[in-house]
A and B are shown apart, each in its own frame.
Chain A
Amino acid sequence: MRKIDTFSANSLKILDKSFEEFQNKYVYNLSIYKKDKRTQTGQKFHNLICYYVKNFDISRLLLDLSSEELRFWKGLEEKLKTIKSKFIKTEYSFLTKESLGDKFYYLTGRFDGILQNDNDFIIYDWKTLNLPLNPCEDLQSVVYLYVLSKIYNTNKIKMRYLSIEKLNTVDVEFSDLDNYKKRIDKIILKLPWFNSLNSLDNGSEFQELSF
């Protein structure tokens, strides 16, 4: 069995929900590929925003949008144009190393955008689906706030979910680094190869997981 030691917010969510589901999806790769329209729209917007923030000329790219998508974009552009110069990163991937007892695990992911206002940081996350119902508890907020606070060594961070369609936002303020870590650790301990009590061996052949 592959002993996964690298986690994204999404894989943690699944592990949190059910070990079996996590195992099927990430250990045995038992999931069926599906490409729906919404995911495709999401992908388009992520790239479009990234190019826009990076100051590429995107006028021709807009030809690729449907009239509805164009309407969304107009609204979004309106919202972004005043702040786009403040983005210090877009589509920024990360990798951190965390200890858990005598073992290590890794967190990985990608920030859609990081905006800096003097000493304050806002993590932007563009959503095509609904905004999280319980954003403070959402593992994406936990992981992202935890990681960014480590990168910039600061507590002045918030996570902002922005609906591409409705343009409404939900913010989550940074709370407590240790609590974040404990929350993540607790989920990871569901895995037998991290929980020495459950572990059948001390295997060290960890493998990275591509997300």
Chain B
Amino acid sequence: MLINANSNTNRTEILINKYLELLSKGVKAERILVLVQNSKKKKEFINKIKEKSKEGFIGSLKVHSFWGFIREYIIENWPCVEQELKDKNAKILPHLSGLEISQYIFKKSIEEVDFVGYNSKTSLLHQLFRRNALINLNNLNKDEVEERAKILQETYSNEAALAINKYKAKTISLRAFDYIRQINIFEFLYKKAENYFEYVFVDDADEISPCTLAYLEYIKPSVKEFFIGYDEYGSSRLGYLGAINVDFEDFLKMKASKPFSSDLKTINALKIFNSIKEDKKIDIENIETKAFLKRNEMVDCVIDDIAKLINGGVKPSEIAVITPLADEFLKIAFEKTGFSFNFISKSEKLNQNKYIGYLLELLKIIIDKNNKMISPYVLKGIFIEILNIKPKEAVSVVQEYKTKYELQNINLFDLIKTKDDEKFKKLVEIYEKKRFENLSCILFEIIFNFINLKKELTKEIIKINQLLKQICDFEDVFGENFNKEDLIIQLENTIISENPLSDDEIDEEAIVVSSAQKIIDYTYKTKYQFLLDVSSENWIRQDIGPLYNSWVMQKKWSKDTFELEDNIELTKDRTARTLYKLYLLGDKITLYSSVYDYLGAENFFGIDKYFEYKNEFEKDEKKNIKPIIPRKDQQEVLNYRGGLMSVSATAGSGKTTIMLLLVDKILSGEILSQIEPKNIFVLTFMESAARNFKERIKAKYPNIKELPNISTIHGLALRILKENNNYSKLGLDYDFDILDEVKRSNILNDIVYKVLGATDKAELYDGAISAYKNELAIYDKFECQNKLFLKVFGAYQERLKSENLIDYDDLLALSLKLLKENDDVLKYYQNLVKIIIEDEAQDSSAVQQNLIMLLASKSNNIIRCGDINQAITSTFTNADTQGFKDFIKKSKNVVMDRCQRCATGVLDCANNTVEFAKYEKIDAFSDLIMKPVEGKNIVDKNAVTCSIFEKEKQESDFILNEIKSIIKEAKKNNTPVSIGILLRSNFAIDKWAKILEEGGIKTYKNSDNLINNLCYRVCLLILEYIANPYDLKVLREIARELYEIGFYDFDTLKYVNSVNEPIFLRDDFDEQFWWDMNYFLYKNHYSIYDLICEIGDFYFSSMPEADNIHLVATIAAKIRLSQKTFEDAVLRMREVQYKNSFSNIKFFKNEEKDLKKSKVSIMTLHKSKGDEFDYVFIPELIRDNLCLTPNDCKLKEKSTFIQKIKKYPKDDFQLKRDITEENYRLIYVGITRAIRKLYLTVADSYKFYAKDKKYVNSEIFEGVLCEK
């Protein structure tokens, strides 16, 4: 019997009825093999048999999951295998162990094989695991593996084979076989044994794996009849999950019955399948789509939608939330709702459960022979969570331990044996009597004595049992031959791939949150399906890595090559099958997408592209948006109809607005025909500009589902590397990471010290490495001659390779290389990219420009906007302004020279600067002279004030007083104003902030420092308090910060400042502040991520800080991973506070003008680009800060050093000219930030190491201003 029908039919019922029919005819149950997909299906199948069978003996059922059957088969026939083995390690029963054991064995095997030059040692284990699984699942022999290695041009196939062989030998010697290894044993066995089964039932046969199919093929001649149920459009587990697409009609040589194929659901599901396969959009009535910019907006909406349903009487069990990203972010958001959620497929580390985490920590403490210092944070958690000690006492004992350990190296158990609490005594007893026993024995004692077996802990107890079982398994397999501490570390890192561990964990009254695959595997039918994160790449599984390729490693792979197209088609096919199956399980489906993921990085390659988005542009109501009437110079831009165009736009000319209008026109099809958002690429210089641009489009079109591609060039390069597994063509592993600033500086410090023995040269090499990579990307044949540099460079590259990292320069260089060397990839993007619009083109590097030209070379539609007069990065980055100048020459150049921002006097000042440079024969500027817009600019010929002071203090007093009177005036007129102090270097920011703060003026330091972020600051302070509850200074700082944002009142601040003794142990206080601080002190989150989320959620509810909570939590969690203890992680968070970003995570910022108008912004001149203020102060304009005469310019070692590694190095004279030119442009940028007034100031002397030192004023005063 062969039934081709989907899960929406009663296919399984038919099979069960047939099964019962056989029983009623007298066939014995043990002669009927039933194979189903998994243990849940097995349970359901058996339940149906039970329900439908008659009273009496039903039989000895042989109903198995695909994998369970293999396991049973081995147990039944094991002596046949043992008989073949020659060693002395015979076992009556082998260890049919879990993946954690084989992971351990694999790790040891890899250590014995040298993968010279392999990219990622960290993912090697994962890669080999998958390779081994695919070889076994597909039953590939040695020749077949070698053949595939040739097809894939693998570099490491020999090493991989060696490692796998070593692994196999070890598993044999230990008799330890995970489910993949069991396949080999099974195959050996069934060929020896006689088939016992007369009848075979297989349900969900479309998900069958090749090894099971091979078995069925083998026994086929001796089976009387097969009963197979499958869905020809199924096989959602194709790829590395091991399903195989089988022609069952050919297998049974019979036609399948298709009993139910005309119901609407099936028709729609097929529509989905076919649409995806044919690249058509899916438009089905019961599928709704909702799109958001940020992930938290999306999650908030889902929560609202769920609440509406539940409040309307829908049962939680009728709702499924389906997402590949059931992460902490989602978990925490859902937990806050108060509804019951059941996360059934979140793979998690064992110690993510706090009981497990603390139990493992306690085990470590008990077996420790060296009396290592125990993290007070962990100890507190153990006392409170495991021993059930009262929090106050726990904190107190922990603090006592900390002090006594630091002073006398006291042993914890010596300390707690002096305490009265019986639980401490019990723990001491376990320590004294059991610490030399097996880990499982110690753990059992702890659990037995301290864990209360109560109903509420059911889920925890399942996990605790899992832990115990894993430890027992290790002890069984390895006996005494493993290091206990190693094992604990291994256990801490064990990922539970099977989650829930048991069906008992499933709460049937809860809203299920699951991956699509689990919903399909469990045939989990619900009325409402909410598909989350559909814009995320994680919806589409990738099945390829450097050492495995799930497609080519299929048994039936017959092509000689593997092309990009193959991967695209096969992945699409699998996605079509997954979404087809998923659709059948829900009645009403809503898709939610967001442009950004929760860290603010852009989502790409989701499944959203397959769905029809109703309410696109033309249907959007463009209300609340004032129509913009372009000026004549702006209109030129909008007249664009294709080809190359450059836009030279002066400061304040409304460039961003016009670009937005232009994108709007392109989207509406007015400019280019047959264009979709996905074909439009807008490249910005800064991430914040991209975000801003997207937000503005989104604000204009609230219902827009698919935005054009708006990103930085680095964002685009990352996409190119990731899309369609392109990274594998460059030998990168799937989990390659981008080196962040903190790590880069650590690595360079380390290398430079090792190679040169120097501690202060890392920064020098930092710039040089970047420049060198740029040179390598541009010039094909080039190697620098500086041997020392090459040594550092080599070591740096090696380090990146071994940690599977690439840096920002690699991002561009590698994507360029990829496109140049792979025609198929290049064609793909050339077809996709129909227009590129680049902003800030004057700052574009040569590599970047090459990349843009290559991508757009088919459409040839490129618009590059910029202002040569504002090129202020070329002396310290790889910016190639000449490239933009050349582009202007060969393209249609539109000039937007009208500036409506600045007062007329400011405009004059800016134009004078241009003239002055020309007069001095400095080629700093283009000929662009800014003109005012009639009726728009403030007419004030005296808008610029230039002041030279004798002393530094006079200058600062002047500025302080000016600001005070500006603020006073603004208050009087009730018209808030924005004020900016623009400085030459970062170092001066703190100094000026201090001057203003002491003068009673609030400041906003606009820098990307981590510590400049309020959420980071507050969370870090509270973590510091938790780490040191006696530290009153920290408490006062917390009170001050939170008073500043209005969380606590002034009385609290006063009170906290008046307290002189540590009072966290008191409980007679009535201040809310103490309650809050105690709450966090007593709270035991094993994970620092959860702790920060709780702190953040408590203090921040408004944007952007609420958006930043998870970013801070992620940074902290990443830091925690690299540090031994919680306390070390807190210290490290403080150490990196002045870094601009961590792990490339960029905070969401408040772009609101309100902030600017309530505080004085202090920033560097460089940072001010793109910004504007009513009043601008540019102080400290000494020649050292702004030299406008080439001969007087001082060259930094870094600048000259970089030239040494270049193909065409510049001499010192040219370098000095470059710096002078850039200084001109820098002051020009500063000047053009001012709307109403501009103040340029300097003093003749400044403090230098506490002494007054004379300085020469910048030429700007002589030239530009004196002329005025």
Nearest first, the 5 closest Cβ-Cβ pairs linking A and B are: A56-B79, A63-B90, A33-B465, A30-B453, A33-B468
Whether the Cβ atoms of A32 and B453 lie closer than 8 Å is yes
CA distance A156 to B1032 in the complex (A): 84
**Across the two chains, which residue of chain A brings its CB closest to B44?**
A208
Q: Report if A200 contacts B (CB, 8 A).
A: no
Whether the Cβ atoms of A150 and B92 lie closer than 8 Å is no
> B residues near A, CB below 8 A?
43, 46-47, 50, 53-61, 75, 77-80, 82-83, 85, 88-93, 440, 444, 447-448, 451, 453-455, 457-458, 461-462, 464-465, 468-469, 472, 476, 502, 504
CA distance A110 to B364 in the complex (A): 41
Whether the Cβ atoms of B57 and A150 lie closer than 8 Å is yes
Question: What are 5 A-to-B residue pairs whose CB atoms are below 8 Å?
Answer: A29-B504, A48-B92, A96-B58, A99-B55, A210-B43
CA distance A159 to B77 in the complex (A): 27
Q: Report if A147 contacts B (CB, 8 A).
A: yes
CA distance A180 to B1263 in the complex (A): 113
What residues of chain A lie closer than 8 Å to B50, measured between beta carbons?
6, 95, 97, 104, 106, 208
Whether the Cβ atoms of A95 and B502 lie closer than 8 Å is no
Shortest Cβ gap from A201 to chain B (Å): 15
CA distance A94 to B54 in the complex (A): 15
Shortest Cβ gap from A39 to chain B (Å): 11
Whether the Cβ atoms of B465 and A32 lie closer than 8 Å is yes
Whether the Cβ atoms of A208 and B57 lie closer than 8 Å is no
Whether the Cβ atoms of A147 and B57 lie closer than 8 Å is yes
CA distance A208 to B49 in the complex (A): 11
Whether the Cβ atoms of A30 and B455 lie closer than 8 Å is yes
CA distance A9 to B576 in the complex (A): 48
Whether the Cβ atoms of B444 and A32 lie closer than 8 Å is yes
What residues of chain B lie closer than 8 Å to A58, measured between beta carbons?
79
What residues of chain B lie closer than 8 Å to A63, measured between beta carbons?
88-90
**Across the two chains, which residue of chain B brings its CB closest to A97?**
B55
What residues of chain B lie closer than 8 Å to A208, measured between beta carbons?
43, 46-47, 50
Whether the Cβ atoms of A97 and B468 lie closer than 8 Å is no
Contact with B along A86-129 (1 / 0, CB 8 A): 00000011111111000010100000000000000000000000
Q: Report if A31 contacts B (CB, 8 A).
A: yes
What residues of chain A lie closer than 8 Å to B77, measured between beta carbons?
56
Q: Report if A64 contacts B (CB, 8 A).
A: yes
What residues of chain B lie closer than 8 Å to A64, measured between beta carbons?
90-92
Which of A32, A99, A151 interacts with B448 by CB under 8 Å? A32
Q: Report if A43 contacts B (CB, 8 A).
A: yes
Contact with B along A141-165 (1 / 0, CB 8 A): 0000001001100000000000000
Whether the Cβ atoms of B56 and A97 lie closer than 8 Å is yes
Question: Among the interface residues A35, A106, A147, which one has the most CB atoms of the partner chain B within 10 A?
Answer: A35
Whether the Cβ atoms of A94 and B453 lie closer than 8 Å is no
Q: Report if A57 contacts B (CB, 8 A).
A: yes
Other contacts beyond A34-B468, A95-B61: 15, CB < 8 A = A30-B455, A32-B447, A32-B448, A33-B468, A47-B93, A48-B92, A51-B79, A56-B79, A61-B79, A61-B91, A95-B50, A95-B58, A95-B59, A97-B53, A208-B47
**Across the two chains, which residue of chain B brings its CB closest to A48?**
B92
Shortest Cβ gap from B381 to chain A (Å): 21
Whether the Cβ atoms of B90 and A61 lie closer than 8 Å is yes
Question: Taking A32-B468, A57-B79, A98-B55 as contacts, is the C-beta distance between A24 and B90 under 8 angstroms?
Answer: no
Shortest Cβ gap from B459 to chain A (Å): 9
Question: Taking A32-B465, A44-B92 as contacts, is the C-beta distance between A60 and B57 under 8 angstroms?
Answer: no
What residues of chain B lie closer than 8 Å to A44, measured between beta carbons?
92-93
What residues of chain A lie closer than 8 Å to B89, measured between beta carbons?
63
**A side interface size, CB within 8 A:** 42
CA distance A44 to B77 in the complex (A): 14
**Across the two chains, which residue of chain A brings its CB closest to B62?**
A93
CA distance A68 to B1138 in the complex (A): 68
CA distance A151 to B56 in the complex (A): 8
Which of B85, B448, B453 interacts with A24 by CB under 8 Å? B453
CA distance A2 to B458 in the complex (A): 13
What residues of chain A lie closer than 8 Å to B83, measured between beta carbons?
57, 60
Question: Among the interface residues A34, A48, A98, which one has the most CB atoms of the partner chain B within 10 A?
Answer: A34
Question: Taking A95-B50, A97-B53 as contacts, is the C-beta distance between A47 and B502 under 8 angstroms?
Answer: no
Shortest Cβ gap from A107 to chain B (Å): 9
CA distance A207 to B48 in the complex (A): 11
Whether the Cβ atoms of B444 and A34 lie closer than 8 Å is yes
CA distance A35 to B440 in the complex (A): 9
Question: Taking A24-B453, A106-B50 as contacts, is the C-beta distance between A47 and B57 under 8 angstroms?
Answer: no
Whether the Cβ atoms of B462 and A60 lie closer than 8 Å is no
What residues of chain B lie closer than 8 Å to A147, measured between beta carbons?
57
Question: Taking A32-B468, A60-B83, A150-B57 as contacts, is the C-beta distance between A47 and B458 under 8 angstroms?
Answer: no
Question: Taking A29-B461, A33-B472 as contacts, is the C-beta distance between A150 and B56 under 8 angstroms?
Answer: yes
CA distance A208 to B60 in the complex (A): 16
What residues of chain B lie closer than 8 Å to A99, measured between beta carbons?
55
CA distance A92 to B59 in the complex (A): 10
CA distance A43 to B43 in the complex (A): 25
CA distance A32 to B472 in the complex (A): 13
CA distance A4 to B245 in the complex (A): 39
Which of B79, B80, B91, B458 interacts with A30 by CB under 8 Å? B458
CA distance A43 to B46 in the complex (A): 26
Whether the Cβ atoms of B462 and A29 lie closer than 8 Å is yes
**Across the two chains, which residue of chain A brings its CB closest to B458?**
A28
Shortest Cβ gap from A95 to chain B (Å): 5
What residues of chain B lie closer than 8 Å to A60, measured between beta carbons?
79, 82-83, 85, 90
Shortest Cβ gap from A21 to chain B (Å): 11
What residues of chain B lie closer than 8 Å to A97, measured between beta carbons?
50, 53-56, 58
Whether the Cβ atoms of B502 and A29 lie closer than 8 Å is yes
Within 8 A of B (CB), among A1-40: 2, 6, 24, 28-35
CA distance A56 to B465 in the complex (A): 35
**Across the two chains, which residue of chain A brings its CB closest to B505?**
A29
What residues of chain B lie closer than 8 Å to A30, measured between beta carbons?
453-455, 457-458, 461
Shortest Cβ gap from B377 to chain A (Å): 27
Shortest Cβ gap from A184 to chain B (Å): 14
Whether the Cβ atoms of A43 and B93 lie closer than 8 Å is yes
CA distance A165 to B457 in the complex (A): 39
Whether the Cβ atoms of A51 and B78 lie closer than 8 Å is yes
Whether the Cβ atoms of B80 and A29 lie closer than 8 Å is no
**Across the two chains, which residue of chain B brings its CB closest to A150?**
B57
Shortest Cβ gap from A146 to chain B (Å): 11
Shortest Cβ gap from A33 to chain B (Å): 4
What residues of chain B lie closer than 8 Å to A95, measured between beta carbons?
46, 50, 57-61
Whether the Cβ atoms of A93 and B60 lie closer than 8 Å is yes
What residues of chain A lie closer than 8 Å to B457, measured between beta carbons?
30
Contact with B along A179-200 (1 / 0, CB 8 A): 0000000000000000000000
CA distance A7 to B213 in the complex (A): 34
Whether the Cβ atoms of A47 and B58 lie closer than 8 Å is no
What residues of chain A lie closer than 8 Å to B90, measured between beta carbons?
60-64
**Across the two chains, which residue of chain A brings its CB closest to B457?**
A30
Shortest Cβ gap from A92 to chain B (Å): 6
Whether the Cβ atoms of A94 and B79 lie closer than 8 Å is no
Whether the Cβ atoms of B57 and A96 lie closer than 8 Å is yes
What residues of chain A lie closer than 8 Å to B448, measured between beta carbons?
32
CA distance A145 to B67 in the complex (A): 33
**Across the two chains, which residue of chain B brings its CB closest to A59?**
B83
Shortest Cβ gap from A128 to chain B (Å): 14
Question: Taking A28-B458, A58-B79 as contacts, is the C-beta distance between A94 and B43 under 8 angstroms?
Answer: no
What residues of chain B lie closer than 8 Å to A61, measured between beta carbons?
79, 82, 90-92
Shortest Cβ gap from A62 to chain B (Å): 8
What residues of chain A lie closer than 8 Å to B458, measured between beta carbons?
28-30
CA distance A65 to B46 in the complex (A): 37
CA distance A14 to B1127 in the complex (A): 48
Shortest Cβ gap from B342 to chain A (Å): 15
Shortest Cβ gap from A14 to chain B (Å): 15
What residues of chain B lie closer than 8 Å to A47, measured between beta carbons?
75, 78, 92-93
What residues of chain A lie closer than 8 Å to B79, measured between beta carbons?
51, 56-58, 60-61
**Across the two chains, which residue of chain B brings its CB closest to A94?**
B60
CA distance A48 to B93 in the complex (A): 9
